Amino acid sequence: DPEASTLSGGGRGEDVKLDLSEDEEGQEESSELLGGQKPTGGFWTFEYYESFFNVDTVQVLDRVKGSVLPLPGRNFIKHYLRSNPDLYGPFWICVTLVFSVAISGNLSTFLGEMGNPSYHYRPQFHRVTIAAVVIFMYAWLVPIGLWGFLTWRQGTERQIGGYSFLETVCVYGYSLFIYIPTSVLWIIPFEWLRWTLILVAMVISGSVLVLTFWPVVRDDTKVMAVAYSCDHCGFTHPAGRRL
């Protein structure tokens, strides 16, 4: 039977490697059984972290596209990540966002003060530090909190089907991508345009997260879900205002 999975036993009770055939069925079976891609090696080895960067250019572009166009019914984790969450996207999207926020904030200050004869241009490099702290805290601490909270809730109610920590971080990272073009367009000095842009970005980013997490949270009390989304909006609003 060419489609059978072969099991090669590891020695001395160590990692058991599962050799799978190349068809779709085999891969989906394994993902349900193992609950995702298991990284090889301990967390002190280089191979452990290499497994988080196992993506191609096409896959990253596909995930970015999926974060910008959230279609109802398309769970980001199930549809795009498919048990292969990566850290490349979240990390480099955060870094790009830090610099684009700092640079466009600096430029919009400059354009706003251009008519002022006593204004002398300053690079305002401290914006980079502030933006880095805020964005990295949002992209890493909030997923940690959410994942811990969801795992705790599932633990008490004995449900299955939660998301792994890496998948949560991945969704948050990719959902931040829409803010990059938004921050670039913020240079245009019209207030109504800026408010429209930030609202559109929040709706898109939020809906990516909602489409992903609603199926898990909906079985829980609705109060929790509403409380969470208020907290999320409350974060992005001051972050946008700081520009």
Partner 1 sequence: MAAAEEASRPFAGLSDVSISEDIPVEGDISVPVGSSRRDDEFSTLDEPVKETILRDLRAVGNKFIHVLYPKRSSALLRDWDLWGPLLLCVTLALLLQGGAADSDDQGGPQFAEVFVIVWFGSIIITLNSKLLGGTISFFQSLCVLGYCIMPLTVAMAVCRIVLISGSGNVSFAVRLVVVTVSFGWSTFASTAFLADSQPPNRKALVVYPVFLFYFVIGWMILTFSPSQ
Q: Using CB under 8 A as the criterion, which residues of the chain lie in contact with partner 1 when the complex forms?
A: 46, 49-50, 52-53, 55-58, 60, 88, 92, 95-96, 99, 103, 106, 120-126
Q: CA–CA separation, 109 vs 124, rounded Å?
A: 10
106 vs 183 by CB, closer to partner 1: 106
Nearer to partner 1, 95 or 233 (CB): 95
Query: Helix 88-112 crosses helix 57-68 at what angle (to 10 degrees)?
Result: 60
User: Shortest approach of partner 1 to residue 135 CB, angstroms?
Assistant: 15
Min separation Cβ 162 and partner 1, Å: 27
170 or 210, CB closer to partner 1?
Answer: 170
Cβ closest to partner 1, residue 27 vs residue 96: 96
Q: What is the CA 5 to chain-centroid distance, rounded? A: 33
Task: Give dist(CA 172, CA 51) in Å, integer.
Answer: 19
For residue 21, the number of C-alpha atoms closer than 13 Å in the C-beta half-sphere is: 10
CB 87 to partner 1: min, Å: 8
Q: Which is nearer to partner 1, 88 or 214 (CB)?
A: 88
Of the pair 121, 195, the CB lying nearest partner 1 is at: 121
- Is residue 20 exposed (0-12), middle (13-18) or buried (19+ Cβ within 10 Å)? middle
Nearest residue (CB) to partner 1, 106 versus 182:
106
How near is the Cβ of 195 to partner 1 at its closest, in Å? Answer: 26
